[in-house]
Amino acid sequence: MAKTKVKALVIGAKDSKEKDKLVTLFTLEQGKLFVYFRGVKGEKAKLKEAKELFTFAEYVLEEGKYGNIVVEANIIDSFSQLRRDLDKYYEACSILDVLNKTSKESNPFVFIQALKALKAICYEDSPKNYALIKFLILVFENSGYTLNFDTCSGCKSKLTGKKYLNVEYGEIVCANCKQLTSIEISPVVLSALKIFKQTPFEKLKSVKIGGGGEQKALNLLIENFEWRFGCKFFTA
């Protein structure tokens, strides 16, 4: 039978029959894939760890009658520490949820950014939700909705006064161009967004955000996400 190898992150899993699991993989090569793990619920099952959420591995798939079956897995990183800290766990779940809802096709850029985000959460002690905020900004950029803080997307004039995010279009506009679907971006949120935009994942832990800016920035990005992708955002 035909076998394929993919590098992938486990982004979802549910029970299938008594001992099987139906797992959602976000693969580097083919985007989202549904695969079966056979008989993996026992304590001694060979592929037990490879089916867990967040696992990054190379999977060997075999085409079966009802879909792809995982026959072999080489774990590259299980990110197991994410399961030992609730805050980290939920933040990482939000990353997986974004992948689940936005990434049907293969997207190497988003794949790599997701790995960087998980690493920052798991190993680099980036403060709560910082990696998630950074990841969302990059996902918007990748789908053509770059947050441009310098120029109004409506009239193209330089943005000097108040700024608004028009969630209908996912773009920043000036006071003259704002519409009913535009949300004012407060100075605290603006400075937070700028910092997140320019700071790489590895440096997030040294970033200082004042005035609860990160939570307000996240709320704005969630609103933007739900408008862009037409689905609810998962938060704990």
What is the binding site for Zn ion (CB under 5 A)? 152, 154-155, 174, 176-177
Least distance between Zn ion and beta carbon 173 (Å): 5
Torsion angle of C-alpha atoms 210, 214, 216, 217, degrees rounded to 10: 120
Residues 6+ apart with CB under 8 A from 17: none
Pull the structure tokens for residue 90. Answer: 């939920």
Select 112 or 155, whichever has its Cβ closest to Zn ion.
155
Least distance between Zn ion and beta carbon 156 (Å): 7
Select 135 or 145, whichever has its Cβ closest to Zn ion.
145
Least distance between Zn ion and beta carbon 161 (Å): 10
Question: Cα separation of 162 and 126, whole Å?
Answer: 30
Contact 56, 70 (CB under 8 A): no
Residue whose structure tokens are 């609730």? 86
Q: DSSP string covering 31-74, please?
A: EEEEEEE-S--STT-TTTGGGSTT-EEEEEEEEETTEEEEEEEE
Least distance between Zn ion and beta carbon 224 (Å): 18
- Sheet with 182-185, side-by-side order of all strands: 171-173, 163-166, 182-185
Select 169 or 234, whichever has its Cβ closest to Zn ion.
169
Select 74 or 148, whichever has its Cβ closest to Zn ion.
148
Least distance between Zn ion and beta carbon 154 (Å): 4
Select 84 or 158, whichever has its Cβ closest to Zn ion.
158
Least distance between Zn ion and beta carbon 172 (Å): 9
3-state secondary structure of 224: helix
Select 97 or 171, whichever has its Cβ closest to Zn ion.
171
Running DSSP on this structure, what letter comes out for residue 169? T
Question: Cα separation of 181 and 184, whole Å?
Answer: 10
